[in-house]
């Protein structure tokens, strides 16, 4: 109910809503309306109250919570539930546990801080409190296992579009899962799945984004940056979370109906890897060559110096001179 009160106030932010009107719209008592508004104020929301006029939404804190996200998503959102934890070992780990417990598609897990955030290839992801976006999305698509990597590219486009929409800057995408600003990482995406035979049972897409960090530990600051460090501005994390989820919804719907060829040009328009000399380290070998692009399956295409063509499904990518 607190989420619905917040949503009403936000949707009428240019007007005052009386306690009587809110109670009528939500079928609850005026006393309960006051209690919900008092609770929202204690969480940092600015809500003005004037006798004989009612309540007016003024502003929100940089706060991530279930009702802060749900109250702002598109009306036809695919998000069914938001699970928020102030401190979590890993949103990926929590999301997988929720899958085993029967969580439905469209469940989103968000943490204010992670103690053991995970990146690709078993790497740790620096995830301090109150500064970044650490979230995982549960999906249960009816598709073949081989298509799982495509969802990473869909999520990368959604995250890049959200950064553009909220922050007004264009992030580059490095295949398959990194968002870069000035050649430093601001975000990464980790896609993990559970499957039976050759069909996916569930997919958990993790998104980590550095938003308001001003410093990073040794070993991280050389390769990572944040939206604040690159722009000099602070951003409200919930604005970006909501934008990512809204962008992902329409891209995912289009992907399911039109296939990956719809996503491909959107990804390529932001890809920093294409046309560059790169080193691709797979679990088998290391390939040095030119990244020619991706095919209609999302597979990276590399032409080595001997003229041989390689299709890369998974690899660690770096510029050839790094």
pLDDT at 89: 94
Give the side-chain half-sphere CA count within 13 A for 182: 9
* Angle at alpha carbon of residue 114, lines to 251 and 247, rounded to 5°: 10
Q: What is the mean pLDDT of residues 289-315?
A: 92
Say if residues 159 and 244 touch (Cβ distance below 8 Å). yes
Q: Per the structure block, which two tokens stand in for 118?
A: 């995970």
Looking at CATH, the fold of the domain delimited by 2-59 is given as Arc Repressor Mutant, subunit A (1.10.10)
pLDDT at 120: 66
- Residue 119 annotated as part of some ligand binding site: yes
Q: Token pair 């399911």 is at which residue? A: 256
- Using a 10 angstrom Cβ sphere, with 0-12 exposed, 13-18 middle and 19 or more buried, the burial of residue 143 is middle
Give the side-chain half-sphere CA count within 13 A for 98: 25
pLDDT at 121: 59
- Residue 120 annotated as part of some ligand binding site: yes
Q: Per the structure block, which two tokens stand in for 160?
A: 């890049």
Residues 262-290 have pLDDT tens digits of 999 999 999 998 999 999 988 888 999 99
pLDDT at 151: 96
Comparing 17-21, 79-83, 138-142, 220-224, which segment has the lowest mean pLDDT? 220-224
Domain ranges of the chain: 2-59, 66-268, 277-319
Can you give the C-alpha Rg of the chain in angstroms? 22
Angle between helices 30-42 and 19-26 (to 10 degrees): 100
Comparing 225-229, 257-261, 294-298, 317-321, which segment has the lowest mean pLDDT? 317-321
Q: Per the structure block, which two tokens stand in for 90?
A: 């890993």
Strand order in the sheet with 300-304: 309-312, 300-304, 286-294, 277-281, 316-319
Residues 93-150 have pLDDT tens digits of 999 999 999 999 999 999 999 998 877 656 788 999 999 999 999 999 989 988 988 9
* CATH architecture, domain 66-268: 2-Layer Sandwich (3.30)
Provide the pLDDT confidence category of residue 32 given band limits of 50, 70 and 90: very high
Q: What DSSP character marks residue 284? A: S
For 297, phi and psi rounded to 5 degrees?
Answer: -105, -5
- Strands 107-111 and 133-139, by their bridges, are antiparallel
321 pLDDT above the threshold of 70: no
Q: What is the mean pLDDT of the chain?
A: 92
Distance CA 103, CA 183 (A): 37
- Element housing 174 (H / E): strand 172-174
- Residue 118 annotated as part of some ligand binding site: yes
Strand order in the sheet with 178-181: 81-85, 107-111, 133-139, 199-209, 184-196, 178-181, 172-174
Q: CATH number for 277-319: choose from 3.40.109.10, 3.10.20.90, 2.30.30.100, 3.50.30.10.
A: 2.30.30.100
Say if residues 66 and 82 touch (Cβ distance below 8 Å). yes
- Residue 63 annotated as part of some ligand binding site: no
Residues 167-211 have pLDDT tens digits of 999 999 999 889 999 999 999 999 999 988 778 899 999 999 999
With a pLDDT cut of 70, the percent of the chain lying above it is 98
Q: Per the structure block, which two tokens stand in for 82?
A: 């938001």
């Amino acid at each position: 109910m607190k989420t619905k009160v917040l949503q009403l106030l936000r949707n009428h932010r240019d007007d005052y809503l009386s306690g009587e009107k809110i109670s009528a719209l939500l079928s609850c008592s005026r006393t309960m309306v006051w209690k919900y508004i008092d609770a929202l104020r204690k969480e940092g929301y600015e809500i003005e109250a004037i006798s004989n006029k009612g309540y007016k939404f003024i502003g929100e804190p940089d706060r991530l919570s279930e009702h802060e996200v749900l109250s702002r998503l598109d009306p036809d959102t695919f998000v069914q539930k938001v699970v928020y934890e102030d401190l979590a070992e890993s949103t990926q780990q929590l999301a997988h546990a929720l899958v085993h417990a029967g969580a439905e598609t469209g469940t989103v897990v968000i943490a204010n801080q992670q103690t053991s955030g995970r990146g690709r290839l078993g790497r740790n992801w620096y995830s301090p409190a109150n500064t970044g976006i650490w979230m995982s999305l549960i999906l249960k698509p009816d598709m073949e296992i081989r298509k799982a990597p495509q969802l990473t590219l869909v999520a990368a486009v959604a995250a890049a579009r959200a950064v553009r929409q909220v922050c007004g800057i264009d992030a580059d995408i490095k295949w398959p899962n990194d968002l870069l600003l000035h050649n430093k990482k601001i975000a990464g995406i980790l896609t993990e799945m559970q499957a039976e035979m050759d069909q996916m049972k569930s997919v958990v897409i993790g998104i980590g984004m550095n938003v308001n960090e001003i410093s990073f530990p040794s070993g991280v600051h050389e390769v990572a940056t944040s939206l604040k460090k690159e722009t000099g501005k602070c951003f409200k994390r919930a604005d970006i979370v909501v934008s990512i989820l809204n962008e992902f919804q329409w891209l995912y719907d289009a992907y399911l109906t039109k296939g990956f060829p719809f996503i491909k040009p959107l990804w390529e328009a932001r890809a920093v890897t294409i046309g560059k000399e790169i080193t691709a380290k797979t679990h088998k070998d290391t390939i040095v060559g030119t990244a020619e692009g991706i095919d209609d399956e999302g597979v990276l295409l590399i032409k080595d110096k001997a003229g041989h063509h390689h299709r890369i499904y998974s690899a660690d990518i770096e510029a050839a001179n790094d």
